[in-house]
């Protein structure tokens, strides 16, 4: 690493430390620790087997009022498949709460995209995600799906949509704490995959290239106390060709984003409206 890179990384750490030691940061750290403890207990379950898709319900019997509302009000939105993509060194259990809330809201087809913590390249993983999405569309009979990606999962999804023609298949891509503009914290690790997350990486340069006509709607949630995205504003999408909305979340740590009740509530609202671009309050 160059002297300038080390200096930038250290400045990023100082910035992160100031944020973490603020009253809001300390409070979010306590919540983050609680979720981390819970998630570590659940993590082994994710190594046993994946969370598959749910078959579409054909009747309204036994459904809650919220489920009935979505199915009756917009059966197309309810039946649009949703692919959940976790972050690095994680698995589908990080979406346990979100899956439950999406099912309660009336969404009927949920599936998880998983990849190994030993993954070395965003591009090749995005290609594999694309094959999974095409399979899902074929099996479900749906022309397009939604993706919800946490951290690196969101970046893999964006690369597929923006660089591999995935906008043909993806209606909405929601990202949570994703380093869309890279993160200075990535300078501290020499791992090949982590190097791609540096602000000046060739991957970031590629994602900054023009993407005319991209049809996918992006919604990027970013936190003011995210410990891994430094500075936190780098989790926003800043691209003139993308239909993107950035949503700031206050006082929620990086790992807590998929579990946070208000974030999950807003995501269900976004995915309930297929034809509206501005649906996040």
Q: What is the per-residue pLDDT across 158-187, written as a single tens digit (0 to 9) for each? A: 999 999 999 999 999 999 999 999 999 999
Please give the angle made by the CA atoms of 170, 75 and 150, to the nearest 5 degrees: 35
Q: How far is CA 35 from CA 17, 45, 129, 189, in A?
A: 20, 16, 27, 25
Q: What would the mean pLDDT of 255-273 be, rounded to a whole number? A: 93
280 has a pLDDT exceeding 60: no
For 173, counting Cβ atoms within 10 Å of its Cβ (0-12 exposed, 13-18 middle, 19+ buried), the class is buried
Q: Taking every pair of C-alpha atoms in the chain, what is the biggest distance, in angstroms?
A: 65
Residue 41 in this model has a pLDDT that exceeds 90: no
pLDDT-based confidence at residue 197 (cuts at 50, 70, 90): very high
The full length of the chain comes to: 281
% of the chain at pLDDT higher than 90: 61
The model's confidence at residue 62, banded by pLDDT at 50, 70 and 90, is: low
Bridge partners, residue 218, by sequence: 173, 244
CA 18 to chain centre: 26
More confident residue, 16 or 209: 209
**258 has pLDDT over 90:** yes
Whole-angstrom CA distances from 239 to 100, 181, 208, 218 are 33, 10, 7, 11
Q: Please, which pLDDT band fits residue 23 given cuts at 50, 70 and 90?
A: low
User: Does residue 24 register a pLDDT over 70?
Assistant: no
pLDDT of 212 strictly over 90: yes
In this prediction, residue 18 carries a pLDDT of: 58
| pLDDT of amino acid 150 | 98
User: Average of pLDDT values for 32-44?
Assistant: 54
More confident residue, 117 or 236: 236
Question: Half-sphere exposure of residue 69, counting CA atoms within 13 Å on the CB side?
Answer: 10
Q: Is the pTM of this model over 0.85?
A: no
In the predicted structure, residue 229 carries a pLDDT above the cut 50: yes
Q: Indicate if the pLDDT at residue 19 is higher than 90.
A: no
Average pLDDT on 8-28 reads 55
With cut-offs at 50, 70 and 90, classify the pLDDT of residue 10: low
Least confident of 16-30, 52-66, 77-91: 52-66
**pLDDT mean across residues, the chain:** 83
């Amino acid at each position: 690493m160059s002297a300038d890179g080390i200096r930038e990384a250290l400045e990023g750490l100082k910035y992160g430390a100031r944020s973490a030691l603020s009253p809001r940061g300390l409070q979010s750290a306590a919540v983050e620790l609680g979720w981390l403890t819970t998630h570590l207990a659940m993590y082994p379950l994710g190594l046993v087997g994946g969370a598959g898709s749910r078959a579409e319900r054909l009747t309204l019997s036994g459904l809650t009022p919220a489920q009935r509302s979505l199915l009756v009000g917009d059966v197309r939105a309810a039946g649009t498949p949703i692919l959940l993509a976790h972050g690095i060194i994680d698995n589908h259990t990080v979406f346990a709460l979100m899956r439950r809330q999406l099912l309660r809201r009336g969404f009927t087809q949920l599936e998880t995209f998983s990849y190994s913590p030993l993954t070395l390249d965003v591009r090749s993983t995005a290609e594999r995600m694309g094959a999974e999405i095409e399979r899902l569309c074929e099996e479900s009979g749906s022309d397009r799906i939604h993706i919800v990606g946490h951290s690196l999962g969101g970046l893999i999804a964006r690369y597929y949509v923006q660089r591999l023609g995935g906008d043909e298949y993806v209606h909405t891509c929601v990202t949570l704490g994703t380093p869309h503009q890279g993160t200075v914290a990535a300078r501290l690790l020499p791992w090949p995959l982590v190097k791609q997350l540096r602000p000046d990486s060739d991957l970031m340069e590629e994602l900054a290239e023009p993407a005319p006509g991209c049809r996918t709607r992006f919604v990027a949630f970013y936190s003011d106390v995210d410990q891994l995205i430094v500075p936190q504003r780098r989790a926003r999408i800043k691209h003139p060709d993308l239909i993107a909305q950035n949503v700031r979340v206050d006082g929620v740590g990086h790992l807590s984003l998929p579990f946070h009740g208000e974030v999950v509530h807003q995501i269900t609202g976004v995915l309930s409206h297929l034809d509206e671009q501005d649906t996040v309050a």
